[in-house]
Amino acid sequence: MIVSPSVLSANFLNLGNDIEMINQSEADWFHVDIMDGVFVPNISFGMPIMSALQKAAKKPLDVHLMLKDPSLYIAEFAKLGAAYITVHYEACTHLHRAIQSIKQTGAKAGVALNPHTPIYVLSEVIDQLDLVLLMSVNPGFGGQQFIANTLNKCAELKQLIIKKGSSALIEVDGGVTVQNAHDLLLAGADALVAGNTVFSASNPSVTIRLLKNTGA
Ligand code: DX5
Ligand code: ZN
With a 6 Å cutoff on the Cβ, whether 64 touches ligand 1 is: yes
Residues 6 or more apart from 127 whose CB is under 8 A from it?
164, 165, 166
- Residue 33 is a catalytic residue: yes
Query: Whole-model pTM?
Result: 0.98
Query: Where residue 113 falls among pLDDT bands split at 50, 70, 90?
Result: very high
With a 6 Å cutoff on the Cβ, whether 5 touches ligand 1 is: no
Question: What does the pLDDT look like over 178-213, one tens digit per residue?
Answer: 999 999 999 999 999 999 999 999 999 999 999 999
Q: How many domains does the chain have?
A: 1
> Looking at the CA of 5, which ligand is closest?
1
What would the mean pLDDT of 72-76 be, rounded to a whole number? 98
Domain that holds residue 51: 2-212
pLDDT for residue 150 is more than 90? yes
SS (H, E, C) 74-107: HHHHHHCCEEEEEEEHHHCCCHHHHHHHHHHHCC
Q: In a mutational test of the pocket of ligand 1, which residue from 146, 173, 207 has the highest number of ligand atoms less than 8 Å from its CB?
A: 173
Active-site pick, 33, 36, 62, 130: 33
- Give the domain CATH number at 53: 3.20.20.70
pLDDT of residue 216: 85
With a 6 Å cutoff on the Cβ, whether 175 touches ligand 1 is: yes
130, 114 contact by CB (below 8 A): no
CA 8 to centroid of ligand 1, rounded, Å: 7
pLDDT of residue 22: 98
CA 123 to centroid of ligand 2, rounded, Å: 22
Query: Where residue 41 falls among pLDDT bands split at 50, 70, 90?
Result: very high
pLDDT for residue 101 is more than 90? yes
